[in-house]
């Protein structure tokens, strides 16, 4: 390959992709890869689907783009109705965007404008977790708790109050709820110190994505955060950019926890890799208040265009038609059992955690003390290279915020079958055997 004019992150030269089908991709040399992470946890229906292609072509033949202030479009209305239905009408209004960062950014701005419209302009701050990832635009970055990404922009991003969430791996007193109670008490104290009436919203992921290696929250914690938001009069924004649209086995991850947000951001799986499409779902009265104050002062050119929404609609129709949420539950159990078996074999697998088809594997230098590998060893990068050499794509990250260390996500397409799940585990096992020989 000639030197490329593209620039992203520094890293090894990448193979050039040739084509893909189902859960497999091939590069130009003919090498095959099992997509164990759905690209960026986005190709949730796998590659090369004819139904999505047909829906997109049909919409392209009709009209690809119209602007939201000039035309209503049927796919947008139908997709919005479907999304509202997935929340059992608890979130009744939908604002379309084109990415996860835009979905979070839009939710933050909607929350802020709601309080301005209500005559509470002092509510201008957000609370979020450390570690967390909410996107790369300055607002979404402002609520992101992930040092390397924040550092160059800290003094120009909006900033937020960062608090610790529960960590069920590194605390062993979870059974009696003391850990959650302590985390909630610390969060309350931090908000009280900052001034509860300055807070517009609490933003969090119901299951952490790349930033935490699929660290789960739990019912009591989320119920506690919901109660704090209600007591302090701020909104609860759930970032379901990664967890939404079936990834955890329910349409939205919050549905596992019995807690309803006021605003919800989603993206990745909605376009399923076929087209960028995201959305903010909102309580109706929030939108009504904002609209009555002169409208939402926010928008993006490509928001809710017909092609994007026809793609999203085809995606959610496929999930319903093929009962893909049931598959997520079944394959999730298979994957969890396989990962637990690998954990039992390799002492440097510290933790396996997840929900549905969102699984994280945390690597530690010492299982007893749970000490992470030294950062300079870049173990997360090494296991990724080994997995790739064994024909498996995984999604790696190292958390540098002193909480978790090296980890990777296993998040195959929601359509994966039992045989390919077994194949995924076999390839991972081969990579782990090689990794094991390298660990001192
Ligand atoms: N929030 C979460 C939880 C995410 O995982 C991501 C993407 N990794 C984003 C926001 C940002 O989405 P995008 O990359 O589409 O802007």
* Nearest residue to 203 (alpha-carbon basis) of 91, 83, 104, 96: 104
How far, in Å, is the centroid of ligand 1 from the Cα of 305? 20
Look up residue 353 and give its DSSP letter: E
How far, in Å, is the centroid of ligand 1 from the Cα of 143? 12
Predicted TM-score (pTM) above 0.95: yes
* Nearest residue to 38 (alpha-carbon basis) of 311, 309, 406, 328: 328
Q: What angle do CA 354, 325, 363 make, to 5 degrees?
A: 15
Ligand 1, atom 15: closest residue by C-alpha = 100
Residue with tokens 């290696």: 213
In sequence order, which residues have a C-beta less than 8 Å from that of residue 334 and are 6 or more positions away?
418, 421, 422
Pocket test for ligand 1, best of 165, 209, 278, 303 (most atoms within 8 A of CB): 209
Condensed to tens digits (0 to 9), the pLDDT of residues 376-398 reads 899 999 999 999 999 999 999 88
Condensed to tens digits (0 to 9), the pLDDT of residues 186-239 reads 999 999 999 999 999 999 999 998 888 999 899 999 999 999 999 999 999 999
Distances (CA, A) of 210 to 122, 261, 270: 33, 22, 18
Distances (CA, A) of 171 to 174, 182, 368, 370, 407: 7, 11, 13, 10, 18
Q: Give me 318's structure tokens.
A: 């496929």
Ligand 1 neighbours by CB, cut-off 6 Å: 99-101, 104, 133-136, 205, 209-210, 239, 241-242, 267
Strands (E) located in 133-184: 161-163
Q: Residue 3's pLDDT band (boundaries 50, 70, 90)?
A: confident
CB 17 within 8 Å of CB 387: no
Pocket test for ligand 1, best of 263, 264, 268 (most atoms within 8 A of CB): 268
CB 323 within 8 Å of CB 89: no
Q: Give me 134's structure tokens.
A: 């909410």
Mean pLDDT of 261-285: 98
Atom of ligand 1 lying closest to residue 267 CA: 15
Please name the fold of domain 53-321: 3.40.640
Please name the fold of domain 17-48+323-438: 3.90.1150
Helix or strand run (H / E) with residue 398? strand 395-398
How far, in Å, is the centroid of ligand 1 from the Cα of 355? 18
Ligand 1, atom 13: closest residue by C-alpha = 100
Ligand 1, atom 1: closest residue by C-alpha = 134
| pLDDT value for 295 | 96
Look up residue 365 and give its DSSP letter: S
| pLDDT value for 200 | 98
Look up residue 2 and give its DSSP letter: P
pLDDT higher than threshold 60 for residue 402: no
Ligand 1, atom 12: closest residue by C-alpha = 100
Condensed to tens digits (0 to 9), the pLDDT of residues 358-367 reads 999 999 999 8
Atom of ligand 1 lying closest to residue 268 CA: 15
| pLDDT value for 111 | 98
pLDDT higher than threshold 70 for residue 401: no
pLDDT higher than threshold 80 for residue 170: yes
How far, in Å, is the centroid of ligand 1 from the Cα of 314? 22
Please report, for the chain, the start and end positions of each structural domain, with discontinuous segments joined by +: 17-48+323-438, 53-321
| pLDDT value for 438 | 94
Atom of ligand 1 lying closest to residue 101 CA: 16
Atom of ligand 1 lying closest to residue 276 CA: 15
- Mean pLDDT value across the chain: 95
Distances (CA, A) of 264 to 121, 350, 394, 417: 22, 32, 27, 30
Atom of ligand 1 lying closest to residue 240 CA: 3
How far, in Å, is the centroid of ligand 1 from the Cα of 372? 25
pLDDT higher than threshold 80 for residue 173: no
Mean pLDDT of 9-17: 82
Q: Give me 226's structure tokens.
A: 């919901």
pLDDT higher than threshold 90 for residue 148: no
Condensed to tens digits (0 to 9), the pLDDT of residues 38-55 reads 999 999 999 999 999 999
Atom of ligand 1 lying closest to residue 100 CA: 12
How far, in Å, is the centroid of ligand 1 from the Cα of 366? 31
Atom of ligand 1 lying closest to residue 242 CA: 5
Per DSSP, the three-state class of 306 is: helix
CB 403 within 8 Å of CB 131: yes
Give 20's strand partners: 25
The CA distance from 227 to 236, in Å, is 10
In sequence order, which residues have a C-beta less than 8 Å from that of residue 416 and are 6 or more positions away?
23, 46, 327, 331, 357, 424
Cβ neighbour number for residue 438 with a 10 Å cutoff: 11
């Amino acid at each position: 390959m000639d030197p490329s004019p593209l620039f992203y992150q520094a890293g090894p030269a990448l193979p050039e992709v040739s084509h893909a089908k189902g859960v497999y991709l091939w590069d130009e040399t003919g090498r095959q890869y099992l997509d164990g992470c759905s690209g960026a946890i986005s190709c949730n229906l796998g590659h090369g689907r004819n139904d999505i292609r047909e829906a997109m072509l049909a919409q392209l033949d009709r009209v690809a783009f119209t602007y939201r202030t000039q035309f209503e479009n049927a796919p947008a209305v139908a997709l919005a109705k479907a999304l509202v239905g997935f929340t059992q009408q608890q979130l009744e209004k939908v604002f379309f965007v084109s990415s996860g960062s835009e979905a979070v950014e839009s939710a933050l701005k909607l929350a802020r404008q709601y309080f301005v419209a209500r005559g509470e302009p002092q509510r201008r701050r957000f609370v979020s977790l450390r570690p967390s990832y909410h996107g790369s635009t300055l607002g979404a970055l402002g609520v992101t708790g992930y040092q390397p990404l924040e550092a160059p922009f800290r003094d120009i991003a909006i900033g937020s109050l960062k608090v610790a969430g529960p960590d069920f791996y590194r605390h062993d007193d979870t059974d009696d709820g003391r850990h959650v109670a302590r985390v909630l008490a610390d969060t309350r104290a931090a908000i009280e110190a900052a001034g509860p009436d300055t807070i517009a919203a609490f933003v969090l992921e119901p299951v952490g994505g790349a930033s935490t290696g699929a660290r789960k929250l739990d019912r009591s914690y989320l119920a506690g955060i919901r109660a704090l938001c209600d007591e302090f009069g701020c909104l609860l924004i759930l970032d379901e950019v990664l967890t939404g649209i079936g990834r955890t086995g329910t349409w939205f991850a919050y549905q596992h926890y019995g807690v309803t947000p006021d605003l919800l951001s989603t993206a990745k799986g909605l376009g399923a890799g076929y087209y960028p499409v995201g959305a903010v779902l909102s309580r109706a009265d929030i939108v009504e208040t904002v609209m009555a104050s002169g409208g939402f002062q926010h928008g993006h050119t490509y928001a809710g265009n017909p092609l994007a929404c026809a793609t999203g609609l085809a995606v959610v129709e496929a999930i319903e038609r093929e009962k893909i949420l049931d598959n997520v539950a079944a394959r999730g159990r298979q994957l969890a059992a396989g990962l637990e078996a690998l954990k039992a074999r390799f002492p440097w697998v510290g933790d396996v955690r997840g929900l549905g088809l969102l699984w994280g594997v945390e690597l530690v230098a010492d299982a007893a003390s749970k000490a992470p590998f030294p950062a300079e060893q870049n173990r997360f990068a090494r296991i990724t290279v080994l997995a790739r050499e064994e024909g498996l794509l995984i999604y790696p990250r190292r958390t540098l915020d002193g909480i978790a260390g090296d980890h990777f996500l296993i998040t195959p397409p929601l359509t994966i079958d039992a045989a390919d799940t077994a194949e995924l585990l076999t390839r991972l096992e081969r990579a782990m055997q090689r990794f094991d020989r390298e660990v001192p």
